[in-house]
Amino acid sequence: MDNKISIFIGSSTESLKIAETVKRILEVGGEIDCTIWNDGVFEYNKSFLESLSNVSYSFDFGIMIATKDDIALIKKSARDIPRDNVIFEYGLFLGVMGNFRTLLLQEKGANLPTDLLGYTTPRFDSRFNEDQWEKLLSKIKKVVVEEYSKSSIKILPSTSLAIGYFNSFLKRVGRYVIEAQGGLLNKNDCEHSKARIQIIIPDELSNDIGEKAQIFYKTNDLVGDEIGKSNRPFPIWFHKKQDELIIIDMPTTLNSIRPSVELLIPTSSLGNDRIKCKVERKELENFKRTLEYLISADDYSKACVEVVWESEF
């Protein structure tokens, strides 16, 4: 099952109550899970920058709250400005997540750096009542949900892996399943009136997805075979349910994710790392979401392919 949309909320200490209001309203409905910066984000024995850099890869969105916390003399005039760390965090998340997944929630009257002039930022007033907050945050929530449904190329490889897997394997096998006459299997004589393909996404990564897949196939009593032309067949695993042939595949291309995460967030100790586990899960979810989008846009695949989590099989 997919996790909720994860949002990091950054703010100054003085505006924590605003951050709590944003979290409370955005989480209504259960689609979104918000984490405020003071909720165990910064780890012991790690610098502020190291913790924040690692965290930025493990969330789907970042919302920074720019309030009038400091005063600066700009061109001989006193101006209300946000705390430096809030602007810094906004820039860091902007570099990792991009403009569409990083939002700056600006208090009216808070002067932003000139580099941010021209950006359309959602604005609030310190005197906002509950209805006004709900109206503003409902718009933000709509943007977040719509953007989350899209896939985009990022530093980590899940979108590219899903595209490659779909084009090189799934699209071709889906077409063969729909167009083939008679039995699909090259080795086993298995009569069936219909067939479909089920792609299994592991609930968590391992150091070798090929080994994990083999254990999954054997544990679930699947049978190995191949389909396609004899000079270039596709190896597959299958089981039969009543009169339906179900072809099963766990994508071994997912092996590229863990080394990529390790390069991005290196560790000096053995064992699981909480941040790395979150990033890996996020990449698995994006792979699945990208694959589902590609399937929905291809008539052959749409007619015979579904994608499920390992625990849902």
- pLDDT-based confidence at residue 190 (cuts at 50, 70, 90): confident
The answer to whether the beta carbons of residues 46 and 266 sit under 8 Å apart is no
Please choose, from the candidates 8, 136, 119, the residue with its C-alpha nearest in 3D space to the C-alpha of residue 61: 8
CA 302 to chain centre: 22
Please choose, from the candidates 79, 74, 66, the residue with its C-alpha nearest in 3D space to the C-alpha of residue 119: 66
* 194 CB-contact burial (10 Å; exposed 0-12 / middle 13-18 / buried 19+): exposed
Q: Give the DSSP letter of residue 185.
A: B
Q: Give the DSSP letter of residue 198.
A: E
pTM to 2 decimals?
Answer: 0.77
What value, to the nearest 5°, has the Cα angle with vertex 99 and ends 146 and 140? Answer: 40
- Which tokens is 23 given? 């979290």
Dihedral, CA atoms, 90, 95, 96, 102, nearest 10 degrees? 40
- Which tokens is 257 given? 């994710």
How many angstroms separate the CA atoms of 82 and 191, rounded?
69
Is residue 51 pLDDT above 80, yes or no?
Answer: no
pLDDT by residue (tens digit) across 133-145? Answer: 999 999 999 999 9
CATH class of 5-148: alpha beta
Dihedral, CA atoms, 159, 164, 165, 167, nearest 10 degrees? 120
Indicate where the chain has its CATH 3.40.50.11530 domain(s): 5-148
User: What SS3 state is found at 155?
Assistant: coil
* 155 CB-contact burial (10 Å; exposed 0-12 / middle 13-18 / buried 19+): exposed
pLDDT by residue (tens digit) across 82-100? Answer: 778 888 888 888 878 888 8
Please choose, from the candidates 140, 78, 73, 76, the residue with its C-alpha nearest in 3D space to the C-alpha of residue 106: 140
How many angstroms separate the CA atoms of 302 and 296, rounded?
5
Please choose, from the candidates 284, 265, 262, the residue with its C-alpha nearest in 3D space to the C-alpha of residue 57: 265
The answer to whether the beta carbons of residues 10 and 65 sit under 8 Å apart is yes
Neighbours of 298 (CB within 10 A): 16
Max avg pLDDT among 42-46, 63-67, 73-77, 165-169: 165-169
pLDDT by residue (tens digit) across 258-313? Answer: 998 888 777 655 455 778 888 899 899 999 999 999 999 999 999 999 999 999 99
CATH number listed for the domain at residues 158-312 = 3.40.50
Percent share of the chain, pLDDT over 70:
85
Output the CA–CA distances (angstroms, integers) from residue 225 to 167, 238, 249, 287, 293, in the order listed: 21, 8, 12, 26, 28
The answer to whether the beta carbons of residues 106 and 119 sit under 8 Å apart is no
Please choose, from the candidates 25, 90, 35, the residue with its C-alpha nearest in 3D space to the C-alpha of residue 59: 35
Beta partners for 71? Answer: 80
User: What SS3 state is found at 26?
Assistant: helix
